[in-house]
């Protein structure tokens, strides 16, 4: 079976109603990154950060996977599919994908806020809220969302890098490719790999000739891609 790696970003979840990051009406137009998505923000105002992610989690729990997430899951019938996502939502899993690596964390999980802890340990979150005064790790520190903030390391990066290095097919869906280091993954694919880029703004993205651009929304683009793969 050929190995097909999907690399997804906020755009794949847009049709489920989750706001993206950089589109003109995106989430981050309404919040300053430095106020809600950095270790400094947590140190300065953990209540605001916790409230921001509690609201994100609540919204995500009430959304459903869309046709694009489902199409990615269906690809498992014909390919060895590995999903690498920048998204903190769990819509790939809920659509049925079995191998999902979250580069920027998973909002349904929490971890210790102790910055000196030398290992990562995740705690499932019951319901939609984390409470600074009630939810603690084993060592007694408040739990924080399992989200990689700006300025933090990306612990899953090495695994993602290895995963793309022997891909036969590589499908990028709904990402502006502006958040590093993870956007650098597109440079790790092997020479024989056939690559596709599904995004309404695909035409504006400068990419190597290895990429076939599909300038459509995620659901339309995935339908188109499946037809292309079936015709080969
Ligand atoms: N759903 C989520 O979990 C979520 C949502 C917002 C932001 N984020 C985080 O913010 C970071 C943002 O980087 P990014 O590149 O993923 O997002 P981004 O906001 O920088 O880019 C979004 C991309 O999606 C495209 N897009 C918009 N609507 C689309 C649609 N219907 N179908 C397909 N593509 C569409 C845009 O053209 C754009 O290229 C990520 O690291 C992620 O962790 C996650």
- Which residues are paired to 83 by β-bridges? 6, 100
Whether pLDDT at 138 is above 80:
yes
CA 104–ligand 1 middle distance (angstroms): 12
- Which residues are paired to 197 by β-bridges? 172, 213
H or E element that contains 70:
helix 67-74
Domain 20-62+110-147, CATH: 3.30.1600.10
pLDDT reported for residue 115:
85
- Which residues are paired to 173 by β-bridges? 8, 198
H or E element that contains 91:
helix 91-95
Fold annotation for 1-18+66-104+154-232: Rossmann fold (3.40.50)
104 among known catalytic residues: yes
Mean pLDDT for 125-140 is: 95
- Listed in sequence order, the residues at least 6 apart from 116 whose beta carbon sits closer than 8 Å to its beta carbon are none
Catalytic site residue from 92, 102, 104, 146: 104
Mean pLDDT for 31-35 is: 85
Whether pLDDT at 23 is above 70:
no
| Domain ranges within the chain, ordered by starting residue | 1-18+66-104+154-232, 20-62+110-147
pLDDT reported for residue 211:
96
Length of the chain: 232
Query: What residues are in contact with ligand 1 under a 6 Å CB criterion?
Result: 9-11, 13-15, 18, 20-23, 26-27, 86-89, 104, 174-176, 178-179, 199-201, 217-218
């Amino acid at each position: 079976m050929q190995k097909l790696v999907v690399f997804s970003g906020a755009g794949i979840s847009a049709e489920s109603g989750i706001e993206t990051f950089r589109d003109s009406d995106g989430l981050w137009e309404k919040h300053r990154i430095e106020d809600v998505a950095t270790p400094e923000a947590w140190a300065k105002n953990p209540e605001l950060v916790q409230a921001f992610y509690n609201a994100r989690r609540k919204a995500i729990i009430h959304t459903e996977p869309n046709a694009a997430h489902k199409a990615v899951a269906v690809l498992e019938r014909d390919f060895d599919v590995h999903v690498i996502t920048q998204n903190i939502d769990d819509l790939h899993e809920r659509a049925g994908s079995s191998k999902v690596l979250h580069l920027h964390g998973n909002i349904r999980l929490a971890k210790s806020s102790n910055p000196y802890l030398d290992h990562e340990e995740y705690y499932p979150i019951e319901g939609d809220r984390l409470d600074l005064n009630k939810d603690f790790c084993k060592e007694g520190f408040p739990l924080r969302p399992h989200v990689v903030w700006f300025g933090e390391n990306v612990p899953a990066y090495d695994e993602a890098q290895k995963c793309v290095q022997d891909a036969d097919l590589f499908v990028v869906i709904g990402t502006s490719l502006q958040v590093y280091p993870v956007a650098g993954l597109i440079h790790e694919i092997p020479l024989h790999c056939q690559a596709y880029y599904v995004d309404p703004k695909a035409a504006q993205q400068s990419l190597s000739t290895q990429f076939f651009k599909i300038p459509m929304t995620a659901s339309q683009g995935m339908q188109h891609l499946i037809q292309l793969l079936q015709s080969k």
